[in-house]
A and B are shown apart, each in its own frame.
Chain A
């Protein structure tokens, strides 16, 4: 019998919360805010991590760049033949790409040139290559770029300003979306020929060379061989890039950690306040309940329901608010803290990432702690002699 849910005790708990409605509203609001803040931060982090992983996944194993006095210069495509001779290299391709600054909007576009008959070094470009019209200057743009161009009345074409000051008209033929928004959002894909014209790169030069290695365990060896062959180059492996991205992300995570700590600190102050004792009125109520025949576990069950109702409501409401804030309203303010590293100012939608572990972590960081903070002081009062509590 005692294991059955006693709905009269549940009803009593609800009434008890309603009797102290201002206090209940205040605690629920603070609790909801904390869950909202924590989950928003977690959701943004998860989304950006997902984006980062997708971006890194698409990177070539090795990138070779020409360096002069520490600065990046265009590289001779002739080095490709020698690189291909290195044992273990499966392919080497010249890339023509660069950042194009669109002054009117104050944004950078990542402009990438591809070749119709070349093997595409990114999976997402395979589909783009099939759609691109290589017979005339045309381009396929990322969604962020499309929005910026639309805003500036470039709906069908865009005029690029070449290094000699002349204009080059390139038609917008389609919009593309890669797996990662960070990857595709600021990207413009066009023929290598058009890209060379815009950046003034001759046919014998390339921005860099991407190298694929058949056996991933040999990447470091191949990279060191390339470095030996061409000491004036910077040879970047995927792992180097991962570390570099991760460092930037970790720095951003530091800010996140600071916000996270502040939230937790506030939450624990509330918890401390609750654990440190009940008001004389609350103690007296527990004494009365015991005097009229409530057992200690009846009192604790009632307190559990009180804590559970407040915390589960606040948790669910906080999570819902965070989902709305991050994925529908695009996390104004908070998003900027994290995505600064992407170098783009074009609008960016955080991808929806459902991570049950994150939800569980927030749950265990808040709900059981709050319930315990309600139950512990009540247990202290309930286990005293009823006579002592009432008096």
Chain B
């Protein structure tokens, strides 16, 4: 269960000026749900994902994830929380271009000091799951947009997190690749993962796999 309680997020522009990105947001997402956050650019969708992932902290209010106060976690605990609970698929993938596919995918596992066998098992699982085994040794910078997205999804899933957050996942993909992404979301939903997708792509609207659609406008749920 993910809860946002009276969440306000302001970004400081300068000493006297700030922009309200989220204004008293209250939201509940149940385990295993697929939730689509709809809204135009700058509406605050990505900020909600960022707060759930504890990548940033709310100005006020609280974010609870699995009874954990994600919004109050100290920095190091926030990192461990992300490592175990969250798989984040960024809009621009945020891969390290000079690393290979498998090096990018195992990044979340590196600080865990697992055995080589454990790492390989987790890596092979996601390589197979997202059909990128044949590209595993290639540098990410040499991959197409669709392939890079698969690597990003594989990285988000390598630690088998309960929650998948996807920020504008189809923004850089053509329709065919976008449909293939939706197939992946279906598979992840079948695995029981909670999936939150921030998007303004109409492909996601009224999809049968989507449990909840939330419209965000100027930092508010409408």
Contacts and interface: CB of A to CB of B under 8 A. Distances in A.
B108 A385 contact: no
A388 interface: yes
Contact of B108 (A12, A15, A292, A386): A292
Given A15-B99, A291-B94, A388-B56, A8 B76 contact: no
Q: How many B residues are at the interface, by size bracket?
A: 20 to 34
Interface in B90-111: 90, 94-96, 98-99, 103, 107-111
A1 interface: yes
Contacts of B96: 285, 288
B6 interface: no
B56 A295 contact: no
A388 B57 CA distance: 11
Interface of B is mostly: helix
Given A9-B110, A9-B111, A285-B96, A295 B79 contact: yes
Nearest to B107: A292
A385 B90 CA distance: 16
A282 to B, nearest CB: 11
A271 interface: no
B56 A385 contact: yes
B103 A8 contact: no
Interface of A is mostly: helix
A77 interface: no
Interface residues of A, number: 28
Nearest to B106: A8
Given A292-B82, A295-B76, A387-B50, A12 B90 contact: no
Interface of B: 50, 53, 55-57, 75-76, 79-80, 82-84, 88, 90, 94-96, 98-99, 103, 107-111, 113, 119, 155, 159
Given A8-B113, A288-B107, 17 more contacts: A6-B111, A8-B110, A8-B119, A284-B94, A289-B107, A291-B53, A291-B88, A291-B94, A292-B155, A295-B76, A295-B111, A298-B110, A385-B56, A385-B57, A386-B55, A390-B55, A390-B90
27 contacts: A4-B113, A8-B111, A8-B113, A15-B99, A284-B94, A288-B96, A289-B107, A290-B79, A291-B53, A291-B90, A292-B82, A292-B83, A292-B88, A292-B107, A293-B79, A293-B159, A294-B79, A294-B107, A294-B110, A295-B80, A295-B111, A296-B75, A296-B76, A298-B110, A298-B111, A385-B55, A387-B55
